[in-house]
Amino acid sequence: MSGPERIGLRLGRCRTCHARFVPVAGPCPRCASTETDTWVASGLGKVLAATELEVPPPGWDRPHPLALVEIEDGVRLLVIPDRPLPAPGALVEVREDGPCYRAGAPGRARDERGEGDAPGVGTVRPPFEPPR
């Protein structure tokens, strides 16, 4: 693959109330207007929360990283973050990846210090029985 490409992030935009939203298709989730079009956002945003699912849905890797990101346009997205798991407040760039959204350091590769300051990332947890 070549370097990171800035193609932006597609959002739906309501021409009635100006809300922006995902998924792109469908009526406005705020006012139900069908007068919508597509808006290309930068995809830059801030991590609100991040975690790893120890019991993800069937077919997902375990542990499965998950983050809630609010992008510049005020839209909040659940994304699969790059590792190490980003801290709340971290700036990320959200990109589409098929049916998923992923997020990583904006624009360029992250400075890798190798200081081991990302607790929990990369550790292997023993298998356990999910709670009944």
Q: CA angle 52-115-109, nearest 5°?
A: 70
Q: Which is nearer to Zn ion, 17 or 48 (CB)?
A: 17
Least Å distance, CB 76 to Zn ion, is 17
Q: Side-chain half-sphere of 20: how many Cα atoms within 13 Å?
A: 17
What is the number of residues in the chain?
Answer: 132
C-beta closer to Zn ion: residue 17 or 49: 17
d(CA 61, CA 65): 9
**Residues touching Zn ion, count (CB under 5 A):** 8
Site track for Zn ion across 11-50, x = CB under 5 A? ---x-xx-x--------x-xx-x-----------------
Across the strands, what pairs with 6? none
Interacting residues with Zn ion (CB under 5 A): 14, 16-17, 19, 28, 30-31, 33
